[in-house]
Chain A
Amino acid sequence: MSKRFSTLDTTRLLFEHPRILFRLIERMDRFEARYVRETDLISEVMDYSKALARADRERVRLALSTDNLFRTGLVIDIIKADGERRLVFQDALINLMRACNASLYQELTDARLRGHLVTLRDVRDRLETSSFSPSDPDFTELRDDLNERVSQLIGLLRQNVLRMQTISARLAEMSGDASRVPEKYLEFRQNLFEQIVTLYDRHIKPTLVFLNPDTRLPDGTNLFETLEAMVRLLEQNGDHSLADQLFRSSISLNALYKPIQAVAQEVEHFLRKTRRGMVQYNAMEHFFGKLRELKGETETLSMRRKWLEGSNFARGTGFLMGLRARSRPKHYAFGGSPSYYQLLFSELDLRLADLKRSAEVPVLQELEGGSRDARVDVQRINQLYQWLESLELRPTHDLVRELHGRLDGFIEGYRFPDLLAALNRLVNTPPRGLHVVTTNRFRTLAPAETGDTPPEQFVYRKRRLEPSTETIHD
């Protein structure tokens, strides 16, 4: 085969079809090996690519061939042993893959944790005899080593916490049979206990002990004492930035204690459960798992999928289907109070005053789209202003609407933009004894549709017309 892919494209393909590597990593973990057998890789690829379209199938098979993987550097070594070829993948790739799938995180065992602690103690011992001089290559190397170890440890533990937090799903899985079949409950229970106790003893408890600042270890200092000793050493020798960094790391590590403690508590609760409690627990876990799937669907790259698509879920349970609140029809604001009548009469008075002057009503010149003359504009506006001068207004909460109501249908040739001019005028030269307050609330006003013009809407800031004396209280 002559065709080959670049490293970038091969990696991209691997992540487009992550299941292949997920399975291989699972197998690696199960056999506690650091390599993948070539035969496993081939059979996995064949198996997976069977379902793909032809072009895709060829692409995947080519990209995941041993040859391509080795040339692109994703497989760093091929070992021949026991008559089989073993591929060692790049650590970085495997770790990234693990990061994409929480169930692939490696559980921390007591031995691994101890390994980390021993190396840290070793670094501390070396630090004690170090020169602390930036020009000493031994010291700078030691610094780098220390940084790497600590960040590695935090990364590992964080992954582990994430993994542990999926424990409820695992507990539900383990106890599913036990809780569903009442007759066989006792039989299952024994088996279940053993599984859970193993999980607790091998993984949760060691991590908890490791991260507990009060732990006493027979062979030396615990994690936090070791870190503290190093912080002190660095501070005494004036390397404050590294000391600070290390101190912050120890705080992060300390913060990991709590979530693990919560997990331990949950396991403990679980062991004490009755069958009834277990069914409840598992039922919740079961349906929550479905909800989680729905949530997973919103986490794809599509920007439009923001909300949970719950129709099927809701129909599945049927609870409260078709429940809906309806807004009640609004009643008209007719009232019987004196203030209502007062308002009504004052409004009528104003309208009557307008009508009495109907002989003086100006006729504003019609404006046709193109043929506008500045002189005509000025003349129109002046006519409008003169009318406004003599217009009687009362204090109102919404001056714009009030003004529109008074002008629309009353003055011939009135157009919507005239309202703007009128408002402008009133804001700058308000009627005697009154002033205009502009608020930050917005309202819309739609003129009556006349049929030949397209519907338009005017969004405006609400303006109040108030008696001037009140300004003092404002």
Chain B
Amino acid sequence: MTDVTDMQQVTEGTGSFDAILPSQSAAVYREFQAGRVIVREIWDANRSELVTNPLYNLVYNNLSHFRTLYEHLGSELVFNETGSFFYLKESSDDEGEEHDENAFRVQVILLLIGRYFARSGRDLDYLGRPDAGLKEDDLIALQADEEYREILRAARFEKGLAEALDYLDKRNLVFKAGAGRYFLSSAGMYFLTELVREYQNG
């Protein structure tokens, strides 16, 4: 590539860069680097309510810019409209065992939670509501189940449920709504509804 075309691309590209504050873009980058999912609403522990996530809006409003940006960085920005979340996918050229590891571990915990909840006779929708979700008794019951414990251990959560929930919490898939209380984010809920949909169609 010659210098001339390089220059042209740079001048073209700066247009979309100008529209975004570097500090905000860096905040988005930090979220993705930490392996987090950017969801539309996040839990505000101080106000005890769901608040809109400014980073989600930023990415949403400048979708094509961020798509290009992360494409240049060798990743794929995935947007899930139904579940209202973004996440960064490693480019598929290094598709190996490790590639699926995180996704699988997330799926295992969510499925265990979903199954436990459905078995307790409640509608899965309640899992995604801050005023419902998993209560302390639920956590105790989940922890007491030997089969769940073994599955978690085999999914490399040696310390059990607490570690698993922490893993989801760090990734914005569940939110901690108080001592011993958790509920699923829109991204976490998306997985469970997707399973139900798949079962129904399958």
Interfacial residues, chain A to chain B (CB-CB below 8 A): 168, 179-180, 265-266, 269-270, 272-273, 276-277, 279-288, 291-292, 294-295, 298, 306-308, 310-311, 313-315, 317, 319-326, 328
**Other-chain residue from B35, B121, B150, B187 in contact with A325 (beta carbon distance below 8 A):** B35
**Stretch of B41-49, B108-116, B175-183 with 4 or more beta carbons under 8 angstroms from chain A:** B108-116
Interfacial residues, chain B to chain A (CB-CB below 8 A): 30, 33-37, 76, 87-90, 92, 97, 99-108, 111-112, 114-115, 117-121, 123-124, 147, 150-151, 154-156, 171, 187, 190-192, 194-196, 198-200
User: How far is B107's CA from A179's CA once the two chains are assembled, in angstroms?
Assistant: 24
**Other-chain residue from B97, B112, B120, B196 in contact with A279 (beta carbon distance below 8 A):** B196
Cβ contacts under 8 Å, A279 to chain B: 196, 199-200
Q: Contacts A279-B199, A328-B33 hold; do A320 and B106 have CB atoms under 8 A apart?
A: yes
Q: For chain B, what secondary structure do more than half of its interface residues adopt (helix, strand, loop), or is it mixed? A: helix
Q: Which 3 A-B pairs have the closest CB atoms?
A: A325-B35, A269-B121, A310-B104
Cβ contacts under 8 Å, A283 to chain B: 195-196, 198-200
Q: A320-B103, A325-B102 are in contact. List 7 more A-B contacts (CB 8 A).
A: A265-B121, A279-B196, A284-B117, A291-B108, A310-B100, A320-B87, A320-B191
A321 in contact with B33 (CB, 8 Å): no
In the complex, the chain A residue whose C-beta lies closest to that of B105 is: A310
A321 in contact with B99 (CB, 8 Å): yes
User: How far is B26's CA from A328's CA once the two chains are assembled, in angstroms?
Assistant: 12
B118 in contact with A281 (CB, 8 Å): yes
Q: For chain A, what secondary structure do more than half of its interface residues adopt (helix, strand, loop), or is it mixed? A: helix
A277 in contact with B123 (CB, 8 Å): yes
A273 in contact with B121 (CB, 8 Å): yes
Cβ contacts under 8 Å, A286 to chain B: 199
Cβ contacts under 8 Å, B192 to chain A: 284
Can you identify 11 A-B contacts, CB atoms within 8 angstroms?
A180-B200, A270-B121, A280-B123, A284-B118, A311-B97, A311-B100, A311-B104, A314-B104, A317-B195, A320-B106, A321-B103
B115 in contact with A284 (CB, 8 Å): yes
User: How far is B106's CA from A328's CA once the two chains are assembled, in angstroms?
Assistant: 22
Q: Contacts A284-B114, A317-B191 hold; do A269 and B103 have CB atoms under 8 A apart?
A: no
User: How far is B191's CA from A283's CA once the two chains are assembled, in angstroms?
Assistant: 12
A313 in contact with B196 (CB, 8 Å): no
Cβ contacts under 8 Å, A314 to chain B: 100, 103-104, 107
User: How far is B100's CA from A285's CA once the two chains are assembled, in angstroms?
Assistant: 23
Q: Contacts A320-B37, A323-B37, A323-B106 hold; do A315 and B100 have CB atoms under 8 A apart?
A: yes
Cβ contacts under 8 Å, A276 to chain B: 123
User: How far is B33's CA from A292's CA once the two chains are assembled, in angstroms?
Assistant: 32
Cβ contacts under 8 Å, B123 to chain A: 276-277, 280
In the complex, the chain A residue whose C-beta lies closest to that of B171 is: A323
Cβ contacts under 8 Å, B115 to chain A: 284-285, 287-288
**Other-chain residue from B92, B103, B118 in contact with A323 (beta carbon distance below 8 A):** B103
Q: How far is the CB of B40 from chain A (nearest CB, A)?
A: 16
In the complex, the chain A residue whose C-beta lies closest to that of B111 is: A287
In the complex, the chain A residue whose C-beta lies closest to that of B35 is: A325
In the complex, the chain B residue whose C-beta lies closest to that of A273 is: B121
A308 in contact with B106 (CB, 8 Å): no
Q: How far is the CB of B44 from chain A (nearest CB, A)?
A: 23
Q: How far is the CB of B167 from chain A (nearest CB, A)?
A: 10
User: How far is B201's CA from A279's CA once the two chains are assembled, in angstroms?
Assistant: 11
**Other-chain residue from B30, B100, B121, B187 in contact with A321 (beta carbon distance below 8 A):** B100
In the complex, the chain B residue whose C-beta lies closest to that of A290 is: B111
